[in-house]
Amino acid sequence: MNTSATHEDHLTFDAQQAHWQRTFASRPEMFGAQPSYAVRKAAALFQRENKRTLLELGAGQGRDTLFFARLGFDITTLDYSEEGLEALCHTARDHGLSDPITTLCHDVRKPLPFSEDTFDACFSHMLYCMALTTNELEALSREIRRVLRPGGLNVYTARNTNDPEFVAGIHRGEDLYEDGGFIVHFFNREKVQRLADGYELVDLEEFEEGSLPKRLFLVTLRRSIGAREQRAADDDN
């Protein structure tokens, strides 16, 4: 089996942005209004560790963003769908939550538009299992590590190879499959370990979501502290 993504596949990946735009426009509450299980777990961890400045990737229509904002986090949220971000901003205004939320339309296949050591933590729910190749995911993980402060947390979810929809639909290279117009990248444990380079793997949990149900990994990573940073920390002490 050819496991690499072809030129045709890359064009299909590019078309996902328009597909998500149409989907959000036609289904304004596609994921519902209730915060995900993943964001509840992440928020509790961030509170315990006093992580206040957050980056969220792939916010969609913002159900998890709003949950973070209600808890008092300062959150910068990125998505590549203008429709989803507009819906999020509208809901945030209605609930008086605009101040702690900053939104930006961005394609995560490109470098993150932030300086080093900007955020305490990063959260993404099912962004990692979108139409992204493994090479693109490795680049994204490096970018997240770059913008996290030393010891910062990266919490993400991804559908895994135990999911009932794994290998369903059109194969798009690697472990990516398209079904109903959506491309999903399914993860095994080896892929989680591969994307943990430069981090400490703090926790790997399996959980289910939705009526299918979707089967996902909840991955918690901590940015490793390099020798230079460790010396600076020792000097401060």
Question: Confidence class of residue 3 from pLDDT cuts 50, 70 and 90?
Answer: very low
- The answer on pLDDT for 10 being more than 90 is no
Q: In this predicted structure, what is the pLDDT of residue 1?
A: 35
The dihedrals phi and psi of 65, each to the nearest 5 degrees, come to: -60, -45
What are the residues whose beta carbons fall under 8 Å from the beta carbon of 126, sequence distance 6 or more?
58, 157, 158, 159, 216
Q: Is residue 82 part of a domain?
A: yes
Q: Is residue 41 part of a domain?
A: yes
Residue 2 falls inside a structural domain: no
CATH for 201: 3.40.50.150
Domain assignment of residue 228, yes or no: yes
Is residue 186 very low, low, confident or very high in pLDDT (cuts 50, 70, 90)? very high
Is the CB of residue 75 less than 8 Å from the CB of residue 94?
no
The pTM for the full model equals 0.85
Q: Please state, rounded to an integer, the average pLDDT across all residues of the chain.
A: 87
Q: Which residues contact 132 (CB under 8 A, 6 or more apart)?
A: 13, 108, 109, 140, 185
With respect to residue 207, please indicate whether it lies within any of the assigned structural domains: yes
Domain assignment present for residue 1? The answer is no
**Is 50 exceeded by the pLDDT of residue 11?**
no
Q: Where are the beta strands (DSSP E) in 111-162?
A: 119-125, 148-159
Report whether 185 contacts 131 (CB < 8 A): yes
- In total, how many domains does the chain have? 1
Q: Tens of pLDDT along 21-31?
A: 555 545 555 55
How high is the pLDDT of residue 227?
46
The pLDDT score that the predictor gives to residue 83 is 82
Residue-level pLDDT at 235: 57
Which pLDDT does position 82 carry in this prediction? 85
Q: Which domain holds residue 182?
A: 7-236
Is residue 49 in some structural domain?
Answer: yes
Residues 6+ apart with CB under 8 A from 8: none
Neighbour-count burial of 162, counting CB atoms closer than 10 A to its CB (0-12 exposed, 13-18 middle, 19+ buried): middle
d(CA 86, CA 81): 9
For position 236, what pLDDT does the model report?
Answer: 59
